[in-house]
């Protein structure tokens, strides 16, 4: 699902140009200043810009990584894994470490042909994972693991799966699922965990009578599966054994970038009514089953009104656990009609802590915690 949506999403971010203009904000109280972070912005010609911000001096600047690193400016999608951004263009991929600046690249990581039907591709900090079927019947799912550092390619047979959900990755564990219809006509889901360090499937588990809403990693070497029967299952990510099950009122599909911190799920909630931003930050307490919406709309509306901005739209949401704050990227039209943007830092109570305007709008935010 996610992998076909990327093309549509990129229609909103392509065809913009950048400059190497530095953006500076004045240092503020340490409780509100920005952490180290980076984001990418795309242009229509030969430029792919990266904005790098450092917490030490509270300053940031753009650089043309297409020119500096030899990365194609025609990036179609971006996958974030830790400090690394996977930049994809056709059958090419570049893994850019935003902390060290190092770049590794690879090509032909899949073969879109009459005998290979790709479902998705994501990356770790140094590997690319492609899930695909090698049967016209789409009943023989395989996983290709390519290390861009060593060039080693591993190909794993997973089983009789067809179209798969959004996979999630963290710390040498790749987890994905497929919601299916059982032979009796009811719901079932197959959950798969792969040890990417050794390129081997740990196991797969068939969950009878349920579908999976989404998977999310926690902060204790674990991951959660939220299920359609108003329950959740928490697994040990190392061994793929169940740690606990419990009731759950969470019933929204997850996109793969969420996280659980101290028993709370941090995610974004899509609003049904037009607003200043399409989505807003949300917190689901797994134990109490209570959801808290972090309403950033009033503060962002005031910011737009004060500066006479129009058409404000969020471009990226990131929860920074060690700051207990959200970084919200946005774009808008200024008073002369130029599309620019910024990064705003919000508390869990929806308070605007600090705002940084940049010459162009952010996308694919990477926070260096």
pLDDT at 324: 94
- Please name which of 225, 268, 221 lies closest in space to residue 246, comparing C-alpha atoms: 225
Q: Which two tokens stand for residue 104?
A: 């590794």
Average pLDDT over residues 258-262: 96
Q: Is the pLDDT of residue 29 over 60?
A: no
pLDDT (tens digit per residue) in 281-339: 999 999 999 999 999 989 999 999 999 999 998 888 999 999 999 999 999 998 888 88
Please, which pLDDT band fits residue 12 given cuts at 50, 70 and 90?
very low
pLDDT at 114: 67
Round to the nearest angstrom and report the end-to-end CA distance of the chain: 29
Rounded to 5 degrees, φ, ψ at 195 are -85, 100
Please, which pLDDT band fits residue 23 given cuts at 50, 70 and 90?
very low
Q: Is the pLDDT of residue 365 over 70?
A: yes
Please, which pLDDT band fits residue 8 given cuts at 50, 70 and 90?
very low
Average pLDDT over residues 18-45: 63
Rounded to 5 degrees, φ, ψ at 322 are -75, -15
Q: Exposure string (b/e) for 88-107, b if CB count within 10 Å is 16 or more?
A: beeebbbbbbbeeeebeebe
Radius of gyration in angstroms for the set of CA atoms belonging to the chain, rounded to a whole number: 21
Average pLDDT over residues 205-226: 95
- Please name which of 304, 295, 302, 293 lies closest in space to residue 331, comparing C-alpha atoms: 304
pLDDT at 7: 33
Instruction: Sheet containing 77-81: give its strands across.
Output: 77-81, 84-89, 92-97, 103-107
Average pLDDT over residues 328-351: 92
Looking from the CA of 269 toward its CB, the CA atoms found within 13 Å total 20
pLDDT at 168: 94
Please, which pLDDT band fits residue 183 given cuts at 50, 70 and 90?
confident
pLDDT at 193: 97
Q: Please give the Cα distance from 159 to 144 (Å, whole number).
A: 14
pLDDT (tens digit per residue) in 62-92: 998 888 898 988 888 899 999 999 999 888 8
Q: pTM of the predicted model, to two decimals?
A: 0.86
Q: Is the pLDDT of residue 6 over 50?
A: no
pLDDT (tens digit per residue) in 168-179: 999 999 999 999
How would you write 270-305 as a 3-class SS string? ECCCCCCCCEEEEEEECCCCEEEECCCHHHHHHHHH
- Please name which of 245, 256, 250, 204 lies closest in space to residue 228, comparing C-alpha atoms: 250
Q: Which two tokens stand for residue 338?
A: 């130029």
Please provide the average confidence, as pLDDT, over all residues in the chain: 85
Q: Please give the Cα distance from 283 to 267 (Å, whole number).
A: 6
Q: Please give the Cα distance from 196 to 206 (Å, whole number).
A: 21
Please, which pLDDT band fits residue 161 given cuts at 50, 70 and 90?
confident
Structure-model confidence comparison of residues 220 and 91, the more confident one: 220
pLDDT (tens digit per residue) in 99-149: 999 999 987 776 666 677 888 899 999 999 998 888 776 778 899 999 998
Q: Which residue has the tokens 């810009």?
A: 49
Q: Is the pLDDT of residue 352 over 70?
A: yes
Q: Is the pLDDT of residue 26 over 50?
A: no
């Amino acid at each position: 699902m996610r992998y076909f949506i990327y093309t549509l999403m990129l229609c909103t971010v392509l065809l913009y140009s950048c400059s190497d203009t530095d953006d500076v904000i004045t240092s503020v109280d340490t409780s509100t200043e920005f952490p180290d972070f980076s984001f990418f912005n795309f242009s229509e010609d030969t430029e792919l810009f990266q904005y790098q911000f450092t917490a030490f001096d509270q300053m940031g600047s753009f650089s043309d990584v297409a020119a500096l690193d030899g990365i194609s400016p025609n990036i179609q999608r971006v996958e974030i894994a830790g400090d690394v951004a996977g930049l994809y263009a056709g059958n090419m991929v570049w893994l850019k470490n935003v902390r060290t600046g190092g770049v590794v690249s690879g090509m032909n990581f899949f073969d879109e042909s009459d005998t290979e039907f790709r479902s998705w591709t994501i990356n770790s900090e140094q590997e690319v994972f492609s899930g695909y079927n090698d049967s016209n019947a789409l009943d023989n799912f395989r996983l290709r693991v390519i290390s861009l550092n060593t060039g080693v390619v591993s190909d794993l047979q997973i089983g009789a799966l067809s179209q798969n959900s959004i996979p999630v990755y963290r710390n040498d564990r790749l987890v994905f699922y497929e919601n299916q219809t059982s032979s009796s006509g009811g719901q079932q889901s197959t959950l798969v965990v792969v040890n990417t360090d050794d390129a081997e499937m740990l196991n797969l588990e068939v969950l009878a009578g349920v579908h999976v809403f989404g998977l999310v990693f926690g902060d204790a070497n674990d991951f959660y599966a939220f299920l359609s029967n108003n329950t959740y299952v928490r697994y040990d990510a190392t061994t793929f054994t169940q740690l606990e099950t419990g009731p759950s009122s969470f019933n929204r599909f997850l996109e793969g970038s969420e996280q659980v911190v101290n028993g709370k799920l941090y995610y974004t909630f899509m609003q049904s009514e037009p607003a200043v931003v399409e989505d807003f930050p949300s917190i689901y307490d797994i134990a109490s089953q209570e959801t808290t919406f972090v309403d950033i709309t009033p503060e962002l509306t005031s910011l737009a009104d004060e500066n006479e901005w129009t058409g404000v739209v969020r471009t990226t949401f990131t929860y920074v656990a060690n700051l207990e704050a959200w970084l919200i990227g946005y774009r808008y039209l200024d008073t002369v009609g130029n599309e620019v943007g910024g990064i705003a830092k919000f508390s869990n109570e929806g308070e605007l802590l600090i705002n940084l305007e940049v010459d162009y709008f952010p996308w694919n935010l990477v926070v260096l915690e």
